[in-house]
Structure 1
Amino acid sequence: MGFLASRWRRASALDNLDEWGLGGRGFGTFVTWFLIGGDIYTAYTFVAVPALLYAGNMVGFFAVPYTIVLYPIIFVFLPRLWSVSHRHGYVTPADFIRGRFDSKPLALAVAITGILATMPYIALQLVGIQVVLEVMGIGGQGDSWLAKDIPLFIAFAVLAAYTYSSGLRAPALIAFVKDTLIYIVIIVAVIYIPIQLGGWDVIFGSARDSFNSFNADNADAIAAGAASPKGLVPVEALHWAYASLALGSALALFMYPHSLTGVLASASRNVIRRNAALLPAYSFLLGLLALLGFMAVAAGIQVDNAQMAVPELLREMFPPWFAGVAFAAIGIGALVPAAIMSIAAANLWTRNIYKAYLNTEATPAQEAKQSKLISLVVKFGALFFVLGLPSDFAINLQLLGGVWILQTFPAIVFGLYTRWFHRYALLAGWAVGMAYGTWTAYLVEVPGDPGSHFGGSLAVVPFTEDVKGYIALTAFVINLLVAVVLTLAFRALKVPAGQDHTVPEDYKADAGDEGVEDLDVDELSTDTPTR
């Protein structure tokens, strides 16, 4: 289906970013719902969130409230981004930043951040494929790197080939199959597995007893900080950690370039609004999926790597033929978003680095060629994250990306409503937030492994003694404070703020309006003059 997608909704050619990178900018409500849903609810959904609950992580359920908080937020600001992007032909969020703030350095910062944050997210998808194949007995055997990591290279080859040939149409088409399989598997799982285990009261009781037993047996290690306590719900000391993870993740998700790519590929503002209203259906699905972690505890699943808990649960509880269907759902649930992510990162490179600095006269065909090639390079970068960083809990890879990508929020979202912030102040705030967030995340140790790094996404909030919070949200607050203070300073010093290449009407434009419906690919530019 990925390869055949190049013929679906076929254009005269795929040699421009509008067609290859945004699927022709014409997806309606139905296709967009599957595309964005396939983009957001990934192998992370099937593997990492239940893994946290299986491991007794008290804040692991944060993913459910964060997706609930998310949709009212995007209902408000994403239609404005769609309008100004379609009026000016913006393909990436960095295109918008350059046009709004007249700042190539700020646009470059947003582009680099997007690429950097996307790589661990792609890596998370590859990890999801790897653990499924390992449970099936393919890969992960023996001591050689080839035997252990061959699933990653298989996934890379398949993903790279169909992404290169079909662009965004491939994951859009495959998303129909992916979501259908996931819904079938989870509906069967939440009915069939509890019946097999004796009911939900047995499942929650088993999880509670298991976590309490662990806490009692490891009381000394927990007191010394060498192990983390387990539980069903956060204790009072972790309430802010839970809340900040939910809020920070909600603010960060649609800053990712792949999330915005799915939005910009839609046909109108109303398509975005309808999807903001319909997508919470996936939040219900996510809540059910998370409970698979408790089911694995009740079923007595024993694994050293928590990421393998759900695949092992499915293998043991289902007949072999249906376990195969479930594994296929996880595998496709990784390939769909990984394709969109690599396309989005490649578009950032092409528009905001290659065309902005290396080949300012690049034609649409040259842009498309660059994006195709860089989409392959990005996947190699994702392999580095998988092979070079701890991945016992794959969710840490994605949360590390969240620390980075949230630092683009002030420029993108606030920029949709006001130009009060000075371009240099936004750049300075971004730099400070990135530096603080990266360094703080680096210092977090894996519990029980002194001297290790990137062991989690929580750290003590500055100016508090023991209140832990999501590093990304703390860095965002610091970023915003720096931007506000320096904006006041730069305005007082009358530092030039640059020219705004947009006008207020651009943020309300819809399909059929002048300059939107018949957007000519040859006229697309980040330097559209002020009208």
Structure 2
Amino acid sequence: MDNVNGVELGVFVFFIAVVTVVGFAAARWRRGQTILHLDEWGLGGRSFGTFVTWFLLGGDLYTAYTFIAVPAAVFAGGAMGFWALPYAAIAYPIVFLIGPRLWSVSHVHGYVTPADFVRGRFGSKALGLAVAVTGILAMMPYIALQLVGIQAVLTVMGVKGSGLARDLPLFIAFALLAAYTYTSGLRAPALISFVKDTLIYIVIIVAILYIPTKLGGWGHIFDTAQAALTKTNPVTHKPTGSIITGDLNQWAYGTLALGSSLALFIYPHTVTGALAAGRRNVIKRNAALLPAYSLLLGLLALLGYMALAKPDVAAAVKAAKNPQLAVPTLFDHVFPSWFTGVAFAAIGVGALVPAAIMSIAASNLFTRNVYKAFFRPEASPAEETRVSQFVSLLVKIGALIFVLAFDKSLAINLQLLGGIWIVQTFPALALGLFTRWFHRWALLAGWAVAMVYGTVTAYNQSSPTQKHFGQSIANIPFIGHTGYIALTAFVINMLVVVVLTGLLKALKVPDGADETSPSDFLADAKDPQVQDLPELTTG
């Protein structure tokens, strides 16, 4: 740690200290009479308005890894890295359609997790368990990747070394995260997201305006990036990429965008953020407002080209064989130390907010849909909350061990697998909000077949650096093009669901009882069927 930049580290630590104070203070922010209820600890009292929800969902969806991975993809492959932009454009109309309905039915029946809804809608504990387990599995590498983001920043600041000296800052950051999440629940990331988003917007606006002046303008940036991307890769003997997608990449680009748009709102942490809203219209407004982040995402992606256009940055990243260092290294080379510290703090706080929400979402899934559903049906709200608090600690510890014990590329590749998995809950969760026609056993069978296909196919994909789980695209059967594995698995899933539903209905196999009614999906906060929780009324 001899080469640590003291100014950068000092500014970084200052902001981490600020959000820690905010995190603990959040325990008293809009708090009800007790924190020992999942509606309070896990959903913030279900009372957030449009403004708070916008920051919460923004902090939830756009993670530290987003701010590192998207520019890294552009740095490594060019235009293919921009697939995240159309995916967000497609996703928010889907959110507008399904979000309000999920909010309404969840508030009527007191659902805390997406698996709660699936179990109640289709009368199947097994299907609810499948959705819960899928969500937990998808969350673990996602949380680990937030640590990868922090670790990338620490590495560029010079916090290297070996053993405890290298990992101690990471331990401290996540110990603080675990502590204020345990005490404050969802209120902590909700309040911290204000700090996170403010820092991120400041850093990106400054970067887009300032860095091109240091690199000879946008024309030079694009020309240099194109020249770097068209060089032949010595391993693949092909160009590494282009600033325009070629014919061979268009199917992959389109299916990545479409498949990812199906996944965005059914991730458990996204649902958790949405269910914390106080009114149905809050979800609609945020579906209209959140695309503002897509502009931010596009500006972020351009940082990948900037890193290619600065020779010393590109050389350092390629020497490290880690494109994830592109943005931190670029900031370290072009900004003054104090502002680099601010930028690194933005990335660090951008890791803590989603990691907190993800751990809460995963723990709620375990508590409601594993612990209570199968082991302690009589568990009280207080017991549920204590279990969820404890499991949230275990989830964070598991993510920390994952990052420290395994190669970082494994976490990255498993997160791609998480996206493949979570899309397979779309038929039961998203389509289940509109129709009860699907048979519960058909949904379970479709989920199982798609999970096996997606996992095996992803396992068989290699890359120049990985023998397995090397990428998330593969050949599409009968099409002759490559595409996102999640979308191919989803099509298989739907085929199984539709065919088996028709067969099971023809055989008159009993279906589960639906505890919802059509009016539940349109209810708002003032409607009489919405559950009244007087003991949780916020002061």
TM-score (normalizing by structure 1): 0.93
Pairing 1:102–2:138 present? no
Give the whole-Å Cα distance in 1 for the aligned partners of 2:269 and 2:198.
21
Counterpart in the other structure of 1:244: 255
Pairing 1:170–2:188 present? yes
Pairing 1:299–2:310 present? yes
The answer to whether the 8 Å contact 2:33/2:535 transfers is no
Q: Which runs of 5+ in 2 are unaligned?
A: 1-21
Pairing 1:288–2:299 present? yes
Pairing 1:334–2:351 present? yes
Give the whole-Å Cα distance in 2 for the aligned partners of 1:228 and 1:508.
52
The answer to whether the 8 Å contact 2:199/2:346 transfers is yes
1:112-131 paired onto structure 2 within 5 Å:
112-131=133-152
Give the whole-Å Cα distance in 2 for the aligned partners of 1:88 and 1:71.
25
Kindly, what percent of the aligned residue pairs are identical?
65
The 1:152–1:455 alpha-carbon spacing in structure 2 relative to 1, beyond 3 Å, is: farther
The 1:488–1:517 alpha-carbon spacing in structure 2 relative to 1, beyond 3 Å, is: closer
Give the whole-Å Cα distance in 2 for the aligned partners of 1:385 and 1:446.
21
One-letter code aligned to 2:353: V
One-letter code aligned to 2:452: A
- Residues 155-214 of structure 1, C-alpha deviations (whole Å, 9 max, x = no match): 3212211111110000000000000000000000000000111110011111001112x2
Give the whole-Å Cα distance in 2 for the aligned partners of 1:296 and 1:53.
10
The answer to whether the 8 Å contact 2:75/2:323 transfers is yes
2:84 maps to which of 48, 59, 63: 63
Counterpart in the other structure of 1:432: 449
The answer to whether the 8 Å contact 2:141/2:412 transfers is no
Counterpart in the other structure of 1:344: 361
1:14-413 paired onto structure 2 within 5 Å:
14-138=35-159, 140-142=160-162, 144=163, 146-212=164-230, 214-215=231-232, 218=234, 221-223=235-237, 229-300=240-311, 301=313, 302-303=316-317, 304=320, 305-387=322-404, 390-392=407-409, 395-413=412-430
The alpha carbon displacement at 1:429 in A equals 0.5
The 1:457–1:155 alpha-carbon spacing in structure 2 relative to 1, beyond 3 Å, is: farther
Give the whole-Å Cα distance in 2 for the aligned partners of 1:448 and 1:274.
43
Counterpart in the other structure of 2:489: 475
SS of the residue aligned with 1:469? strand
The answer to whether the 8 Å contact 2:236/2:464 transfers is no
The alpha carbon displacement at 1:228 in A equals 6.7
SS of the residue aligned with 1:158? helix
The answer to whether the 8 Å contact 1:25/1:264 transfers is yes
Counterpart in the other structure of 1:447: 464
Counterpart in the other structure of 2:13: none
SS of the residue aligned with 1:222? coil
The alpha carbon displacement at 1:381 in A equals 3.0
Counterpart in the other structure of 1:515: 529
Pairing 1:463–2:478 present? yes
Give the whole-Å Cα distance in 2 for the aligned partners of 1:87 and 1:155.
38
The alpha carbon displacement at 1:520 in A equals 5.5
SS of the residue aligned with 1:200? helix
- Residues 99-151 of structure 1, C-alpha deviations (whole Å, 9 max, x = no match): 1100000000000000000111111111000110111111x324x4x455444
The answer to whether the 8 Å contact 1:346/1:378 transfers is yes
2:431 maps to which of 409, 414, 431: 414
The alpha carbon displacement at 1:222 in A equals 2.6
The answer to whether the 8 Å contact 2:141/2:411 transfers is no
One-letter code aligned to 1:178: K
- Residues 447-502 of structure 1, C-alpha deviations (whole Å, 9 max, x = no match): 255xx21111111111244x111111111111111111111111111111011101
Give the whole-Å Cα distance in 1 for the aligned partners of 2:228 and 2:476.
31
Give the whole-Å Cα distance in 1 for the aligned partners of 2:244 and 2:176.
40
The 1:374–1:407 alpha-carbon spacing in structure 2 relative to 1, beyond 3 Å, is: same
SS of the residue aligned with 1:340? helix
One-letter code aligned to 1:15: L
SS of the residue aligned with 1:483? helix
The answer to whether the 8 Å contact 2:110/2:531 transfers is no
The answer to whether the 8 Å contact 2:64/2:149 transfers is yes
The alpha carbon displacement at 1:77 in A equals 1.0
Give the whole-Å Cα distance in 2 for the aligned partners of 1:447 and 1:150.
32
SS of the residue aligned with 2:177? helix
SS of the residue aligned with 2:486? helix
Q: Which runs of 5+ in 1 are unaligned?
A: 523-531
TM-score (normalizing by structure 2): 0.92
RMSD: 1.7
Give the whole-Å Cα distance in 1 for the aligned partners of 2:106 and 2:530.
9
SS of the residue aligned with 1:419? coil
The answer to whether the 8 Å contact 1:228/1:447 transfers is no
Counterpart in the other structure of 1:528: none
One-letter code aligned to 1:82: W
- Residues 201-242 of structure 1, C-alpha deviations (whole Å, 9 max, x = no match): 011111001112x22x63xx435xxx7732212210110100
- Residues 338-359 of structure 1, C-alpha deviations (whole Å, 9 max, x = no match): 0000000100001000100111
SS of the residue aligned with 1:55? helix
The answer to whether the 8 Å contact 1:391/1:397 transfers is no
Give the whole-Å Cα distance in 2 for the aligned partners of 1:32 and 1:417.
24
The answer to whether the 8 Å contact 1:211/1:230 transfers is yes
SS of the residue aligned with 2:527? coil
One-letter code aligned to 2:497: A
One-letter code aligned to 1:336: V
